[in-house]
Chains A and B, each alone.
Chain A
Amino acid sequence: MSDMAAQSSAPAELPRAKTDWLPLLLVPALGLLALPFVGSPSTWVTLTVAGLAMGMMIFLMASGLTLVFGLMDIINFGHGVFISLGAYATLLVLGPLGSWALSDSIGLNLALLGLCILVAMAVTALAGAVFERVIVRPVYGSHLKQILVTMGGLIVTEQLIHAIWGASPIPIPLPQSLRGAFVLGDIVMERYRVIAVVIGLVVFLGMQLILNRTRIGLLIRAGVENPEMVEALGYRIRRLFVSVFIAGSALAGLGGVMWAFYRQTLTAGMGMEVMVLVFIVIIIGGLGSVGGCFVGSILVALVANYVGFIEPKLALISNILVMALVLVWRPQGLFPVARR
Chain B
Amino acid sequence: MTEPLLQLSGVHTHIGPYHILHGVDFAVPAGELTMLLGRNGAGKTTTLRTIMGLWQASSGRIRFDGSDITTRSTPDIARAGIAYVPEAMGIFTDLTVRENIVLAARSGPVDKSRLDWILGLFPALKRFWNLPAGNLSGGQKQMLAIARAISEPRRLLLIDEPTKGLAPVMVRSMIEAFRALKASGETILLVEQNFYAASALGDNVVVMDDGRIVHSGTMSDLVADKDMQQRLLGLSLDAHQ
Instruction: State the A residues within 8 Å of B (CB).
Output: 1-5, 7-8, 14-18, 215, 218-219, 221-222, 224-226, 228-229, 231-237, 337-338, 340
Asked if A7 and B92 make an inter-chain contact with CB atoms under 8 angstroms apart, the answer reads no
Asked if A3 and B137 make an inter-chain contact with CB atoms under 8 angstroms apart, the answer reads yes
Per-residue A-contact encoding for B153-181, CB less than 8 Å = 1, 0 else: 00000000000011101100100000000
A21 to B: closest C-beta gap in Å: 15
In addition to A4-B166, A4-B167, A229-B92, 7 A-B residue pairs with Cβ atoms within 8 Å of each other are: A4-B137, A4-B139, A8-B170, A215-B103, A224-B94, A231-B78, A233-B103
Complex formed: what's the CA distance from A221 to B167 in Å?
31
B118 to A: closest C-beta gap in Å: 16
Asked if B167 and A232 make an inter-chain contact with CB atoms under 8 angstroms apart, the answer reads no
Instruction: State the B residues within 8 Å of A (CB).
Output: 52, 54, 73-75, 78-79, 84, 86, 88, 90, 92-95, 99, 102-104, 106, 124, 127-128, 131-132, 134-135, 137-139, 148, 165-167, 169-170, 173
Complex formed: what's the CA distance from A338 to B133 in Å?
12
Asked if B75 and A222 make an inter-chain contact with CB atoms under 8 angstroms apart, the answer reads no
Complex formed: what's the CA distance from A86 to B95 in Å?
34
Asked if A218 and B88 make an inter-chain contact with CB atoms under 8 angstroms apart, the answer reads no
The residue on B at minimum CB distance from A226 is B90
The residue on B at minimum CB distance from A7 is B137
Asked, given contacts A231-B74, A234-B78, whether A1 binds B167 with beta carbons under 8 Å apart, the answer is: yes
Asked if A222 and B106 make an inter-chain contact with CB atoms under 8 angstroms apart, the answer reads no
Asked if B95 and A221 make an inter-chain contact with CB atoms under 8 angstroms apart, the answer reads yes
Complex formed: what's the CA distance from A222 to B96 in Å?
11
List residues of chain A with CB within 8 A of the CB of B139: 1, 4
Complex formed: what's the CA distance from A2 to B52 in Å?
33
Asked if A1 and B132 make an inter-chain contact with CB atoms under 8 angstroms apart, the answer reads no
A84 to B: closest C-beta gap in Å: 33
Complex formed: what's the CA distance from A72 to B89 in Å?
20
Complex formed: what's the CA distance from A231 to B127 in Å?
28
